[in-house]
């Protein structure tokens, strides 16, 4: 891990937390305002956040244009700058990662995210600007060890297998405008470079059930891997708990040059239907045609179908969220494979316990030289983790955590992975709250 830039990032987070001039509002348990805490319109500051895509509580907004339950907590520092309501959210973690077996490895690395958002009213509607960066690229081009993970490339020549790719420095630069169309419906447009098309559940680092777990899901490229896409344009409608939207976007996954933006293309398309029937539920189904997603497999496109349900329960001193998701990739030409994910996290005072169960079909675990090349294997992963968060400043907390995982795999994989592979991560995290 290159320590210096990571230290600068941490210092910047601390300085922002110290200088933040938050809105004068009561804070709830995690330091973030909940819907009830916000001053009602007309009595508090005239500038405040609303839903970025229509008339609904801001807590519903997750990554890109995806939705989570309204009752989900939203961390970050809220403020006002002129006519703009602003929000800042971020974390940086130092992680020690160990994976067992013949393909196992150890690595110490950092992962991070800093997100800024600003919203103002414009005409009848709302304009929202979002920017998000990550210093994940400091971990090096081959990312971090993660057994059975597949997707993207380290160097443009070899595919990443049993490694999670680092995220690009630029994760999102996007603008959204929404305007009322009738008394109960709004239309919106979302433009991002990079951005997230209307495909899949909220990206893992943006949903409460996953955000405390430093590991990416091994089903990432079946569910939410399009969260960083170099070129997205989305049009949609919202009405009450419903949202329907369509995107055109760049189907190619980010290349190995993580510090630089990629070439803009708009060669793929997706559509998503979202429904939040109550403040505790968020459902979505989506379909996308993804043109040539893998740099190393030109000419192989994908049809992707996903469905997910998120249940969130606000507790007196915490929050509990559970996500169930399914994703299917249908390669053209090629095979169809599925990934299933069930994850849950419960936060109570300073404690968060989280768990994830995944089942994924993988056919990219072996290089062409291996007789098992191209064969599909079903693997399952069980993870359990815990993090303890200590407040170190009004808007900053220090978390100490660990996560351990066990796997089940077909016997044909034992020579490559051992009969009972396992892995763990230990981490220290500084987070804006
Ligand atoms: Cu990703």
Give the residue extent of every domain in the chain: 3-85+112-382
Distance 228 CA to ligand 1 centre (A): 7
Distance 109 CA to ligand 1 centre (A): 16
The set of residues, in sequence order, having a beta carbon less than 8 Å from that of 328 and lying 6+ positions away, is: 222, 304, 305, 306, 336, 337, 338, 339
* pLDDT for the residue 249: 97
Residues 55-77: pLDDT tens digits?
999 999 999 999 999 999 988 89
Distance 42 CA to ligand 1 centre (A): 40
Q: What's the predicted TM-score (pTM) here? A: 0.89
Distance 24 CA to ligand 1 centre (A): 35
Q: Where are the beta strands (DSSP E) in 183-317?
A: 185-192, 232-239, 242-249, 268-275, 281-290, 301-315
Distance 34 CA to ligand 1 centre (A): 28
Distance 92 CA to ligand 1 centre (A): 16
Name the DSSP class of 5. H
Distance 243 CA to ligand 1 centre (A): 24
The set of residues, in sequence order, having a beta carbon less than 8 Å from that of 410 and lying 6+ positions away, is: 377, 378, 379
Tokens of 266: 């708009």
Distance 180 CA to ligand 1 centre (A): 33
* pLDDT for the residue 32: 44
How many CA atoms, within 13 angstroms, populate the side-chain half-sphere of residue 110? 22
Distance 127 CA to ligand 1 centre (A): 26
Residues 212-231: pLDDT tens digits?
999 999 999 999 999 999 99
Q: Which residues of the chain have pLDDT under 50?
A: 1, 21-45
Contact in structure between 323 and 201 (CB atoms under 8 Å): yes
Distance 204 CA to ligand 1 centre (A): 8
* pLDDT for the residue 295: 83
- Please tell me the distance from the alpha carbon of residue 27 to that of residue 6, in angstroms, as a whole number: 29
Residues 245-300: pLDDT tens digits?
999 999 998 888 999 999 999 999 999 999 999 999 999 999 999 999 888 888 89
Residues 139-165: pLDDT tens digits?
988 899 999 998 888 888 888 899 998
Distance 254 CA to ligand 1 centre (A): 10
Distance 205 CA to ligand 1 centre (A): 9
Distance 97 CA to ligand 1 centre (A): 18
* pLDDT for the residue 4: 57
Three-state DSSP state, 236 = strand
Contact in structure between 250 and 262 (CB atoms under 8 Å): yes
The set of residues, in sequence order, having a beta carbon less than 8 Å from that of 291 and lying 6+ positions away, is: 251, 252, 265, 267, 268, 301
Distance 40 CA to ligand 1 centre (A): 37
């Amino acid at each position: 891990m290159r320590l210096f830039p990571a230290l600068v990032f941490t210092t910047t987070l601390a300085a922002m937390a110290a200088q933040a001039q938050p809105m004068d509002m009561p804070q709830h348990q995690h330091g973030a305002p909940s819907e009830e805490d916000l001053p009602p319109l007309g009595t508090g500051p005239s500038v405040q956040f609303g839903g970025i895509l229509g008339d609904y509580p801001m807590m519903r907004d997750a990554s890109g244009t995806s939705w989570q339950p309204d009752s989900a907590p939203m961390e970050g520092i809220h403020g006002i700058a002129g006519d703009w309501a602003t929000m800042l959210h971020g974390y940086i973690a130092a992680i020690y990662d160990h994976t067992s077996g013949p393909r196992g490895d150890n690595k110490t690395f950092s992962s991070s995210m800093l997100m800024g958002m600003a919203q103002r009213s414009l005409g009848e509607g709302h304009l929202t600007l979002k920017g998000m960066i990550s210093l994940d690229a400091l971990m090096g081009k081959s990312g971090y060890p993660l057994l059975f993970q597949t997707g993207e490339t380290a160097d443009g020549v070899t595919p990443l297998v049993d490694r999670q790719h680092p995220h690009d420095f630029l994760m999102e630069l996007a603008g959204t405008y929404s305007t009322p169309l009738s008394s109960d419906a709004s239309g919106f447009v979302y433009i991002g470079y990079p951005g997230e098309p209307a495909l899949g559940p909220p990206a893992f680092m943006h949903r409460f059930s996953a955000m405390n777990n430093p590991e990416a899901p091994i089903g990432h490229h079946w569910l939410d891997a399009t969260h960083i896409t170099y070129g997205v344009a989305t049009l949609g409608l919202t009405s009450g708990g419903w949202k329907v939207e369509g995107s055109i976007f760049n189907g190619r996954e980010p290349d190995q040059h993580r510090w630089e933006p990629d070439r803009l293309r708009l060669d793929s398309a997706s559509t998503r239907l979202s429904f939040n029937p109550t403040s505790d539920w968020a459902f979505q189904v989506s379909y996308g045609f993804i043109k040539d997603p893998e740099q190393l497999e030109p000419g192989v496109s994908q049809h992707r179908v996903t469905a997910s349900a998120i249940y969130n329960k606000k507790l007196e001193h915490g929050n509990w969220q559970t996500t169930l998701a399914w994703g299917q990739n249908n390669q053209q030409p090629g095979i169809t494979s599925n990934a299933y994910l069930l994850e849950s996290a419960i936060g109570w005072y300073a404690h968060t316990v989280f768990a994830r169960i995944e089942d994924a079909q993988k056919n990219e675990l072996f290089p062409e030289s291996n007789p098992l090349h191209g064969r599909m294997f079903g693997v399952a992963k069980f993870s359990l983790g815990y993090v303890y968060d200590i407040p170190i400043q009004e808007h900053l907390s220090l978390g100490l955590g660990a996560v351990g995982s066990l796997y089940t795999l077909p016997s044909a994989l034992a020579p490559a992975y051992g009969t009972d592979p396992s892995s763990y991560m230990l981490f220290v995290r500084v987070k804006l709250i």
